[in-house]
Structure 1
Amino acid sequence: MAGALLLLGLVAQIAGFAGVSLLPHLVGYALWLATALLWRDIPRRTRWQAGALAGIGLGLLVIAQLRYDAAIEWPAILDGNTYVVAMLLGVSFIGLIGNRSGSTRPLGRAITGIRGTAGTWLGVHLLGTILNLSTVFMIGDRLARRAPLTTPQLLALNRGLSSAALWSPFFASMGVVMTLAPSMQYTQVLAAGLPLALIAGLLTTLELSRRFDLSETAGFSLSPRSLLMPVIMAALVMLFHYRLTPTLSIVSIITFLLPAVALVSNLPSGPRWTLHRVRQHTLVRLPAMRGEVALFLSAGLLTLGLSNLIAAATGSEWTLFAHFGAGQAIISFLAIVASAVVGLHPIIGVSVLASMLDLAPDRQTLFAFTALASWAVGTSVGPLSGINLSLQGRYGISGYRMMRHNLGYAAVMTALVVVAIMVLEAYSDTR
């Protein structure tokens, strides 16, 4: 039932893009009800964190109405971050693109040494831009067939995926940022984020080769066939965004395009086979995303509660910063990364920050890059981030051990992000 509700939420969201409203707030209600049904199966740490976020957000809404007589649209309070959750659900359907047996195609042969470690980072980074966290498991499981994963392999997996948050339009981080800063200029974010991500890959390769003996460390080698699907998907997204559906955001396009491509790729095997795969995906894969869904929905409720309380208490006139420039962006970045180190997911810091700012359109690109950079660095080093919890659950390495190994990397990346923020601000001032 929970899987069916998640699928219903996704379908209702896609229908909304075409102007078809099945029921008011149906997306939020379906996603929250599914989360409630799956609540006991959510990992305990995630459950406590999501519960605290939702409880605080709801409490803030109550205070805003009772203490400040704020007009709260209660039927709509569950709508926060539903766009992002729908995108995550849509992206998951990429797993249906495969052969008739549903098995994963070989991604390339494993190699060793520095070249192998660089290949692991690059493979996770490039494929992860679209496939997200599932790429870590695809490549990690392949490497684990030879021997249990070592620390440098796990660090390459961690950093390869987390650094993709700097620029990938398919990442949940980009979905959140585009929702919070709709006037952001993606090309400027790409121009700053992509070089920074490539530097992160070079830094990872050089650091791991210095700290560890990689001569026997198995790595991953990309083949042109492995890159074909991500490149095609990225091209399709750009085609829809700039030509076919220019009024839709990239988040919206990804939400409907990836499930559509997955269905089309299965139809040659017959409608019955296609329905079978969708049913299996609905019953298995969608409920397995319960932790992500719960966290994003709860963070959306927290953001709504905090923004309503601040608006009610200050008459919508108070903001954290009177002007959001390079200095304010750097302070915000450092604060969000620090909160990630103590266990908070960067989405919380980003959402709270957005609720306390009144961003002019020309400031939204700087905010967007700051949020994406804090997400990329924060998830790599945060012991309770989704990537580190996943590595812990799948391969048995402690999230706090990953944090210790990533502290030096995070420090260097922090310095680079500070420079990038100042460059981006200077570029904005010259326009």
Structure 2
Amino acid sequence: MNLVRIYTGWLVLGTLLFYLISLWQTHALIVPTLFAWTANFAMWKSLTKGARRQSTWLSMIGLLCLLYAGSRGVWMNWQQMFAINLPMLSMFVAVSFLDLTNQQEGNRPLPKGFSAILNTAFGVQVLGAVINLSVIMVFADRMKGMKTLSPIQQYILTRNFSAAAWWSPFFVATGVALTYAPGMQWQQTILPGFAMGMVAILYSSLEAYKQSNGEFRGYPIRKESLFIPLFLACAVIVVHFISPDIRILTLICVLAPCSAILLMKSRPRTTVLNQFIHHKLPQVGSQFALFLAAGVFSSGISAVILSYPQAFSLENLNFSNWLFSALLAGMILLGLIGIHPVVSIAIVSPILLPIHPDPTQLGFLFLSAWAISAGSSGLTGLGLLMTSRYQIPTRTIVKNSYPYAIFMWLLCSLVNGLYF
């Protein structure tokens, strides 16, 4: 085993630490960029074939587009090509530390009935809003027991976990929206976003209760386990209110790991942190590969658009409710066929930015596309996890969720028209 692979976890951690340093020393951005790409290469062999294939195609298409645009005199700088998604990767590393605060629920019996559905849906959304993807596996492994996870249990988990993208500052979707909708006021999306999240809980819970005839077995969540997510969310909001000049992404990158280390219950801390860095952090390979490749792809698309300003111009249009609704429908459909939300966002953003849409409204579009497509698709990250780990067929995931996707699309279009 070579030295790079031995120290992969430290390369991932270095991406976060040196990114934070680069916020004060702008010229130092090259250091976290090198750390991120080196970590990506070190983790490459551990990726699934699907992740490697998608990342490779994104990178190749992006590089070809960059070369073509360069032949027409349009060149992008290295930051735009290789570091555009560095803030999101740093945020992902930061929130990964929250896995240290996970509390195991032991062998308590699984609750049944409508209250079990509501508690599971609410719990996976609130916990997932902060602790992210590991919550899905904790919930699903416990709920399936010695059997298999049922399709109803699957959509309760994936839909409501993904719905946290509408309102959680700790969700990677928020980092994407803040990056690709410059000037977005995240706090202005909290109210409509939280309302969408609650509707997702209610819609899915009623559907699950009807389909399971009240026999649904949920997760035995405790009130105490909600403390850390709520504490961190409140901390971000309060600190941002006191110091609005500090970016939300920066707050999360600092608060998440510090709070996790402070509130973790496992002892001794040094041993647990060392194991986390060496064994947990190297498991973020698919996220590093996808986001770095998506950055190259986005840069290439942007360069081609700049090469043909008239062909891609939407200057005769404004960011109307109809355009919002049409774009959201298209991005959801792309998600259903396996295009990750970050890729569709990377395509749409450079096309829309020249018409100067309201940044917060644009951010709400991106959050909505992420929340709906990630919760309904069998071919993006969550869907692939359910298919590979819990043997839920892709066709079943899409079949069960397309009415939900249509309903939430219509509701988002309505909320956009009324609120923005």
| 2:21 matched residue in structure 1 | 15
- 1:246 match: secondary structure: coil
Shift of 1:361: 6.5
Distance 1:86 1:300 in 2: 14
CA distances 1:310-354 after superposition (whole Å, capped 9, x unpaired):
113328983487321211111110110111111111111111100
Shift of 1:12: 0.5
1:303 aligns with 2:303: no
Distance 1:368 1:2 in 2: 33
Distance 1:210 1:266 in 2: 39
1:28 aligns with 2:33: yes
1:82 aligns with 2:80: no
Distance 1:131 1:405 in 2: 26
If the length of structure 1 is used for normalisation, what is the TM-score? 0.89
Consecutive unaligned residues of structure 2, counting only runs of 5 or more, are 1-6
| 1:330 matched residue in structure 2 | 325
CA distances 1:255-287 after superposition (whole Å, capped 9, x unpaired):
121111223346995xxx433222212221111
Among the aligned pairs, what percent are the same residue?
25
Counting only pairs closer than 5 Å after superposition, residues 196-215 of structure 1 correspond to structure 2 as 196-215=196-215
Distance 2:58 2:231 in 1: 38
Give the 3 Å change call, closer, same or farther, for CA 46–220 of structure 1 in structure 2.
same
- 2:308 match: secondary structure: helix
- 2:149 match: secondary structure: coil
Give the 3 Å change call, closer, same or farther, for CA 92–320 of structure 1 in structure 2.
farther
Of the three residues 8, 11, 18, the one matched with 1:5 is 11
Counting only pairs closer than 5 Å after superposition, residues 267-346 of structure 1 correspond to structure 2 as 273-314=268-309, 318-319=313-314, 322-346=317-341
Counterpart code for 1:155: Y
Distance 1:241 1:362 in 2: 24
| 1:219 matched residue in structure 2 | 218
Q: Contact 2:58/2:296 (CA < 8 Å) preserved in 1? A: yes
Give the CA RMSD over aligned residues: 2.4
Counterpart code for 1:230: P
Distance 2:152 2:93 in 1: 31
307-316 vs 350-359, which moves further: 307-316
| 1:162 matched residue in structure 2 | 162
Consecutive unaligned residues of structure 1, counting only runs of 5 or more, are 426-431
Counterpart code for 1:379: A
Shift of 1:4: 1.9
Give the 3 Å change call, closer, same or farther, for CA 288–151 of structure 1 in structure 2.
same
1:354 aligns with 2:374: no
Q: Contact 1:177/1:368 (CA < 8 Å) preserved in 2? A: yes
Give the 3 Å change call, closer, same or farther, for CA 331–127 of structure 1 in structure 2.
same
Distance 2:254 2:41 in 1: 25
Distance 1:267 1:189 in 2: 33
| 1:391 matched residue in structure 2 | 386
Of the three residues 51, 56, 62, the one matched with 1:57 is 62
Q: Contact 2:165/2:173 (CA < 8 Å) preserved in 1? A: yes
1:40 aligns with 2:38: no
Shift of 1:355: 1.3
Q: Contact 2:9/2:282 (CA < 8 Å) preserved in 1? A: yes
Q: Contact 2:319/2:357 (CA < 8 Å) preserved in 1? A: no
If the length of structure 2 is used for normalisation, what is the TM-score? 0.92
Shift of 1:71: 3.1
Distance 2:26 2:360 in 1: 31
Counting only pairs closer than 5 Å after superposition, residues 115-126 of structure 1 correspond to structure 2 as 115-126=115-126
| 2:246 matched residue in structure 1 | 248
